[in-house]
Structure 1
Amino acid sequence: MEIRIGITNSGRELSFESSQSTAEIEKLIADALDSGKSYFTVSDDKGKMYIVPTAGLAYVEIGSEETRRIGFVG
């Protein structure tokens, strides 16, 4: 699934594909925000790990687990 994370005062967003479920990502971020942690970590399908500061978190967009369709719509 695609995950996009916006960081305040940054013109770019962090965007990557992850094999974690929507519920797992949501719980990870909610736990970090609720507990007052200064960061949380997520990993992508390729094994890269991202450390995201909670203080600069603007938004998190979690895409659906549905595969993308290829072709023309008629």
Structure 2
Amino acid sequence: MEVKIGVTHAPRELVVETDLDAAGVEEHVRAALVEGGVLSLTDTKGRHVVVPGNKVAYVEVSVSTVGKVGFKS
């Protein structure tokens, strides 16, 4: 899944490619917002992204699309 995280007072969004499904991402986001903790996600390469829950402006979850190489006919 591709997860885009908007952070308040930041000009760019964070983009994370994760192995979690949409329900798993939503669970992490809800926990961070309700408990006032941090949103912590691990991407497909093992890197961790940590955002304070009170700084999350929005989260967009979508199926990642891999670019195709070659010509279309």
- Give the TM-score band, short-chain normalised: 0.7 to 0.9
2:13 corresponds to: 13
- Residue 56 of structure 1 and its aligned partner are, at CA, apart by 1.0
SS at match of 2:24: helix
Describe how 1:1-74 pairs up with structure 2 within 5 A.
1-37=1-37, 39-64=38-63, 67-68=65-66, 70=68, 72=72
Unaligned runs of 5+ in 2: none
Partner AA of 1:33 in structure 2:
L
Q: Which has the higher helix share?
A: 2
| Equivalent residues of 2:2, 2:17 under 8 A apart | yes
Which portions of structure 1, spanning 4 or more consecutive aligned residues, are displaced by more than 4 angstroms? none
**2:58 & 2:43 partners in 1: Cα distance?**
18
| Equivalent residues of 2:36, 2:54 under 8 A apart | no
**1:68 & 1:51 partners in 2: Cα distance?**
25
- Residue 68 of structure 1 and its aligned partner are, at CA, apart by 4.2
Q: Percent of aligned positions with the same letter in both sequences?
A: 34
Partner AA of 2:17 in structure 1:
E
TM superposition score normalised by structure 1: 0.81
Paired positions, count: 71
Partner AA of 1:55 in structure 2:
N
TM superposition score normalised by structure 2: 0.82
Unaligned runs of 5+ in 1: none
